[in-house]
Amino acid sequence: MSEPLGRNRDFTLFWLGQTLSALGDAISIIAVPLLVLEATGSLTMMGMVTASVGLGSLAAGIYGGPLVDRVDRRKLMIRTDWARFVLFLLVPLLWPLLDHAMWFIFVVSIVAAAMGMLFGIAYITAVPNLVDRGQLTEANGRLGASHAFAFAIGPVIAGFVVEQFGAAIAIGLDGFTFLISALTLSMLRLRQASATRPEGEREDRREELLAGVKFLFGSSTFRWITFITAVVVFTYAGVNDLIIFQVKENLGEPDRTVGIMYGIASLGSVASGLSIARLRRRFGFGACYVAGTLVFGVSVLVLGLVPTIPVMTVMMTIGTFGEALRGTLTMTLRQELTPDHLLGRVTAAFWTVFTVPGPVGALVLTQLAHLYGVPRILEVVGVVLIALGGVVLWSPVASRQPALVK
């Protein structure tokens, strides 16, 4: 009989630290676009900064998998947390001194994204070494719910701090949450600090880099999930910038409104995290995955059709429920079906593949929105996501419990 998650000290420490870290992320996801908008007034520049985040993630993702599968994962997470603490603390210190030079924000965005990618890969591999395999959906649901709760209050805090002290100060606050994360990680132990590889496995670097890709594309289930995620990322990568631009520039609302909207919207992810284990047990993986994709698409479509603050807030809340449901199921299935000694490389391969469309999608969406207007592009994105949900019905992903079929 598995120990209840509430009595698992190491998981509880991990859960606490990552919830506080997520709170900082929730502040930055609002503060960085607002900083760029205040400095440049350009939607295109907002898209370029978003794209730079994707490039930093891509660069780290290529080599992150082999690194995570080779070193002590807990220590790697601690070091990336320290790096981001220092990096984000530099923003309020140097931004005024550099006369609001955009190159500095690009550097911070790229390096922070690279550190975040390394941390994220290690994070995925850490969870199966904190809880029993049968508890993964519940554990990921709890982590997702608390993460979403942080995103419910984080944007509200961000809106207030940005309005009162400026976006650079808000980004600096995020840095301290990485410090807290590092401290909690230092107090826990993983059941398996680093991956134990089967005897005789080759250590050739080229084979290491390709091992995750081969495993990922060797299964039709993972091939489909990777394709679906890549399309979602391409079409949705710039939507956050479009929503903020719509609220700030087209509707003339203050920073506080942006924070409140995103805070309320995050409650959808909280609901998803708290209910996902029960929903999966009752309806199965496939039905939940398809429903999440369709709900996500419909919400984005309505965002474009009725771009008013009340309707946008409701649709963002519904959309975050659907996307959190789809995303958590994807992550859990990867943890369930991938051997531990390959999990870092498979995760890195998965994230690298869908990181590539992100920067391109952000640039394309912001440029199209500049030409045709934000509402029209949101409508197009919604239609694409709904069509994607229909396509999923004909894939192996739609089964009650997907398996590693060829």
Whole-number percent of the chain with pLDDT over 90: 17
For the chain, give the mean pLDDT.
83
Report whether 273 contacts 328 (CB < 8 A): yes
Q: Determine the length of the chain.
A: 406
| pLDDT on residue 384 | 92
Q: What would the two tokens of residue 372 be?
A: 């045709």
What is the mean pLDDT of the segment spanning 1-16? 80
Q: Are 371 and 363 in contact (CB under 8 A)?
A: no
Note the pLDDT tens digit of each residue in 226-278. 888 888 888 877 788 888 888 888 888 887 788 788 878 888 888 888 898 88
Least confident stretch, 172-176, 202-206, 320-324, 379-383: 202-206
- Taking only the tens place, the pLDDT of each residue in 99-113 is 778 888 888 888 988
What pLDDT is attached to residue 50?
73
Read off the amino acid at residue 244: I
Condensed to tens digits (0 to 9), the pLDDT of residues 354-364 reads 666 777 787 88
Average pLDDT of the residues in 159-178: 84
Q: At residue 290, does pLDDT exceed 80? A: yes
pLDDT at 293 over 60: yes
Compute the 3-state secondary structure of the chain and give helix, strand, coil in percent, each to the nearest 5.
85, 0, 15
Phi and psi angles of residue 230, each rounded to the nearest 5 degrees, phi first: -60, -40
Whether pLDDT at 285 is above 70: yes
pLDDT band at 157 (very low <50, low <70, confident <90, very high): confident
Higher-confidence position of 45 and 380: 380
Tokens 């369709």 correspond to: 294
Q: Alpha-carbon dihedral of residues 103, 105, 106, 112, nearest 10 degrees?
A: 140
The mean pLDDT of 312-322, rounded to a whole number, is: 93
pLDDT band at 85 (very low <50, low <70, confident <90, very high): very high
Read off the pLDDT band of 61 (50, 70, 90). confident
DSSP 358: H
146, 25 contact by CB (below 8 A)? no
Is 133's pLDDT higher than 80?
no
Over residues 323-355, the pLDDT tens digits come to 889 988 988 888 888 888 888 888 877 777 766
Q: Which amino acid, one-letter code, is at 143? A: L
pLDDT value, residue 204: 57
Domains of the chain: 7-190+205-398 (1.20.1250.20)
